[in-house]
Amino acid sequence: MRSSYRLDWTPALLHLLLEELYIEDEIAELFGSTNHPTETIPQIIAVAIALRHSWQIDDFYRIIRRLKLVRVE
């Protein structure tokens, strides 16, 4: 695991994450593609996680509250 110690977020790593979450197509539809500059990666990851949990509304709300994306009562 030491070889991953200094690993940075890259478009290739983001692409792999989206493939593993099975939401690559949805993200590409929302953002136009999945090949974006590294400064947009946190936004894409947050949306990807929220999408991955969107099939159950309570789980979705829990995730967006944890990410502090919106305030949900």
pTM exceeds cut of 0.75: no
Amino acid code (one letter) for 1: M
Helices (H), the chain: 11-20, 24-31, 41-52, 57-66
Q: Specify the pLDDT at position 24.
A: 87
What value does the mean pLDDT of the chain take? 82
CB atoms under 10 Å from CB of 35, counted, come to: 11
pLDDT tens, 46-68?
888 888 877 888 888 888 888 88
CB atoms under 10 Å from CB of 1, counted, come to: 4
